[in-house]
Amino acid sequence: MKFELTNGKHKISDLEYLNDLRKVANHLKKNSLKMRDYCKENGALYSVNGVTRRFGNWTTILEKAGLKGEDSLKGVKYGEKEIKEEVLLADLVRVSTELNKPNISCSDYDRLGKYTVVTMGDRFGSWNKAKEKAKLKITKKADNSDEDLFNNILELWTLLGRQPKFGEVVSPNSKYHGATYARRFGSWKGALEAFVEYINNKEETIVAEEANTELIPVTTLKATKPKKEVKRKRTTRNINLRLRFNVLQRDNFKCKKCGRAPATNSKIVLHVDHIKPWSKGGETVIENLQSLCSKCNLGKSNLE
């Protein structure tokens, strides 16, 4: 069965977005709204990034919602394309100074910055280019493979029990920031589409490794002739990313024995395990795999 992404954002209407902006402004007792004020702490249901993707820019959003922009102390309106570069760079330097950390991360800035990592990337071309222009230290770019990034998506998906959203791709639950995926795949949606394409790729099927080749005695029809041995290839013991995702997704990201899940208890760790042990002839195929929490998996191992 081919796996497909859910497309939750299309379920949100323009009116729902605009009403949410009005609700936040009303909560703040204002008829205006800054980007930084549209946040969960003030009751926002959605993200600035999601709203701006829908309407294009902050100024257009405010106009459609019947709200006004606000002026900063320097007389610059808060809006994704209207903030002066020097204001954005000064905020990067401020966060770096507060943390006494010349190589601030995306997570650092998301936590303490007035704007967003996405805004920095849009304005300067990338997060590292923004830091370079602010004369901050640039951490050496890790040479992460697509599979490293896909494994991280799988871990986050397992933790949440559903398709992750851009705003959830942050530390400590994610090894990489959403901006890392945006740089590699163009956007978070593009990263999810690439992940699903990878999962659904049937060309790279599980192949037997030569190291797993076994010599199996085979009896011939004539009893007078001696038995001969033939080689039969088995599936590899390793459970690859595709199989792990398909098993976890089939089992609803829950332990098949106790029903516990990371989505309801973050301390739960799920494993994908062979039902019939590989060492006893069990194959690495979806029918012989199951999702087990670490506790149930340990108990199963103790019984074998």
Least confident segment among 166-175, 186-195, 295-304: 295-304
* 115-128 average pLDDT score: 78
Q: How many CB atoms lie within 10 A of CB 19?
A: 13
Residues 271, 248 contacting (CB under 8 angstroms): no
| Number of domains forming the structure of the chain | 4
Of the two residues 186 and 78, the one the predictor is more confident about is 186
Greater model confidence, 123 or 143: 123
pLDDT of residue 144: 79
Among 11-15, 173-177, 229-233, 236-240, the range scoring the smallest mean pLDDT is 229-233
DSSP bridge pairs for 81: none
DSSP reduced 3-state for 115: coil
CATH number of the domain enclosing 263 = 1.10.30
Structure tokens at 271: 């494993």
Q: Which domain holds residue 277?
A: 210-303
**Cross-strand bridge partners of residue 66:** none
**164 within domain boundaries:** yes
What mean pLDDT do residues 85-97 have?
Answer: 91
User: pLDDT tens digits, residue range 92-118?
Assistant: 999 999 999 988 888 788 888 888 777
Distance, C-alpha 82 to centroid of its chain: 30
Distance CA(127)–CA(130), nearest Å, equals 5
221 lies in the same domain as 172: no
Higher per-residue pLDDT: 230 or 162 = 162
According to the model, what pLDDT value does residue 162 have? 93
Q: Record the tokens describing residue 41, joined without a space.
A: 């702490």
Instruction: Kindly tell me if the per-residue pLDDT of 209 is higher than 50.
Output: no
Nearest by Cα to 48 from 197, 178, 136: 178
Q: Token pair for residue 258? A: 């106790």
Give residue 93's pLDDT. 94
pLDDT at 213 exceeding the cut of 70: no
Q: Which amino acid is at 112?
A: L
- Is residue 198 within a helix (H) or strand (E), and if so which, with residue range? helix 188-200
Q: So what's the pLDDT on residue 6?
A: 67
pLDDT at 287: 94
Q: What is the mean pLDDT of the chain?
A: 81
Confidence of residue 181 (pLDDT cuts 50, 70, 90): confident
Whether residue 158 is found in the same domain as residue 108: no
- Of 59, 79, 99, the residue at which a domain comes to its end is 79
Q: Do 153 and 178 lie in a common domain?
A: yes
Is 244 within a domain? yes
* pLDDT single digits (tens) 19-45: 999 999 999 888 888 888 888 888 898
Q: Is residue 46 part of a domain?
A: yes
228 and 263 share a domain? Answer: yes
Residue 9, pLDDT above cutoff 70: no
Judge whether 46 and 17 are in contact, CB under 8 Å. yes
Which band of pLDDT confidence, cut at 50, 70 and 90, is reported for residue 274? very high
The answer to the question of residue 295 being in a domain is: yes
Distance from chain centroid for Cα 45: 20
Residue 180 has pLDDT above 90, yes or no: no
User: pLDDT tens, 249-261?
Assistant: 999 999 999 999 9
Q: Sorting pLDDT into bands at 50, 70 and 90, what band is 188?
A: confident
pTM for the whole thing? 0.55
